[in-house]
């Protein structure tokens, strides 16, 4: 988790930085403080001050064009103008980032400095395993832990429906939580799982991310009905927001993303994103080219031997079809 003070090393680094078009830091160390981005809007951010006389206060700061690559969870070096408005001096280096391409082919961080992503799925809207597997692959490649939350357990008439799903992912060492924001089922375990770290709830619109945040933290994040005709979410949460946990950790509620694609992944990253292949990737003689039907392709042999479930194989092929 985040250290609350800016270190001398961080300040020196910002001063010497040439890479990010950041103005060199001209202020004294005692005028610069560490802040945490708790919400990101198109032209401004909300920043929680982590140290100094304004500690724990929340300020709005406008984003300058040369410093707009900022996401919820980012740590900033900030100062105060004479008028006491918040000025962003620099973005501190990230220890992790969950990225996705925007519609223009630029990479955008969904959230920064995340320890674990909880991918939320539910009985309704219908589970899209390809989307789930895309999230899991993105987390895997980003070096971020991932867990799966199956919400709305109260709507399952018989748990048989979810057991096969659970067994596929538990076999791959992904923790799976079967919960209901409505009845409270399974929330003690989930509460323990999110303690003392920075977590993000991600997944389709309408699966109940904000409902879970509200039940776990007693917050009043906006919750939206599913649209009645198609049983889909209505994109109620429009921007990612970070909540502080009593445990000292942080939980980020993110908007259901319409399109989450891995078009920026190279083929090798796609395979790395699937834990099934970790043990064989180093063994395949076609390491640098397309894994294929030829004898000697360890990836293909694993697929032939049934080392990946049908639904995961379907996701793999879908992602490979769109990768570069
Ligand atoms: N039956 C049932 N309904 C739930 C449960 N959790 C959430 N819901 C309902 O699901 C709908 C969507 O919930 P939200 O919390 O807004 O979903 P979200 O994932 O935050 O959606 P976006 O913000 O649009 O991404 C609401 O009508 C909730 O009341 C649950 O455990 N059981
Ligand atoms: Mg929401
Ligand atoms: Zn191969």
User: Which DSSP string do the residues of 179-244 spell out, in sequence order?
Assistant: --TTT-TTHHHHHHHHTTSEEEEE-STTSSHHHHHHHHH-------PPBTTTTB------S-EEEE
Kindly give the distance from the C-alpha atom of residue 168 to the centroid of ligand 2, in angstroms, as a whole number: 27
In which residue ranges of the chain is CATH 2.40.50.140 found? 8-91
How confident is the model at residue 231, as a pLDDT?
Answer: 76
Q: What is the mean pLDDT of each run of 10 residues along the chain (324 residues)?
A: 80 74 71 95 94 95 83 95 92 93 84 97 92 96 97 87 91 97 97 96 96 95 85 88 91 88 87 93 73 80 93 94 74
| Ligand with minimal distance to 255 CA | 1
User: Ligand 1 in contact with 223 (CB < 6 A)?
Assistant: yes
**Residue to mutate (ligand 1; options 206, 232, 240; most atoms within 8 A of CB):** 206
Pick one of 3.30.465.10, 1.20.120.340, 3.10.20.740, 3.40.50.300 as the CATH number of 104-253. Answer: 3.40.50.300
Atom 14 in ligand 1: residue holding the nearest Cα: 208
Are 224 and 206 a contacting pair, CB within 8 Å? Answer: yes
**Residue to mutate (ligand 1; options 127, 157, 177, 181; most atoms within 8 A of CB):** 181
CATH class of 8-91: mainly beta
How confident is the model at residue 18, as a pLDDT?
Answer: 60
Q: In terms of pTM, does the model score above 0.85?
A: yes
User: Ligand 1 in contact with 225 (CB < 6 A)?
Assistant: yes
How confident is the model at residue 157, as a pLDDT?
Answer: 84
In terms of CATH architecture, what is 267-322?
Orthogonal Bundle (1.10)
In which residue ranges of the chain is CATH 3.40.50.300 found? 104-253
**C-alpha radius of gyration, the chain, whole number:** 21
């Amino acid at each position: 988790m985040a250290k609350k003070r800016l270190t001398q090393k961080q300040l020196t680094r910002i001063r010497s930085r040439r890479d990010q078009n950041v103005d060199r830091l001209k202020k004294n160390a005692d005028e610069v403080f560490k802040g945490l981005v708790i919400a990101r809007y198109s032209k401004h951010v909300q920043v929680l001050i982590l140290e100094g006389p304004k500690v724990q206060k929340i300020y709005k700061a406008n984003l300058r064009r040369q410093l707009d690559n900022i996401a919820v969870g980012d740590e900033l070096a900030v100062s105060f103008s004479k008028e006491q408005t918040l000025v962003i001096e620099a973005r501190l280096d990230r220890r992790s980032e969950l990225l996705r391409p925007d519609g223009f082919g630029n990479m955008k961080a969904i959230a920064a400095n995340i320890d674990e992503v909880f991918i939320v799925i539910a009985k309704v809207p219908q589970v899209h395993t390809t989307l789930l597997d895309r999230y899991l692959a993105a987390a895997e490649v980003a070096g971020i832990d991932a867990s799966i939350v199956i919400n709305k357990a109260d709507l399952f008439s018989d748990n048989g429906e979810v057991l096969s799903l659970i067994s596929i992912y538990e076999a791959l060492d992904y923790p799976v939580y079967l919960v209901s924001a409505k009845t409270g089922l399974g929330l003690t375990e989930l509460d323990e799982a999110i303690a003392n770290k920075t977590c993000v709830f991600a997944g389709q619109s309408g699966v109940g991310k904000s409902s879970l945040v509200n039940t776990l933290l007693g917050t009043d994040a906006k919750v939206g009905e599913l649209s009645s005709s198609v049983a889909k979410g209505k994109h109620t949460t429009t921007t990612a927001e970070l909540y502080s946990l009593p445990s000292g950790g942080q939980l980020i509620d993110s908007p259901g993303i319409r399109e989450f694609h891995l078009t920026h992944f190279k083929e090798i990253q796609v395979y790395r994103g699937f834990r099934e292949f970790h043990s064989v990737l180093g063994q395949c003689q076609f390491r640098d080219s397309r894994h294929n039907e030829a004898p000697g392709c360890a990836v293909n042999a694993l697929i032939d031997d049934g080392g990946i479930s049908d639904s995961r194989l379907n996701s793999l092929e879908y992602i490979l079809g769109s990768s570069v």
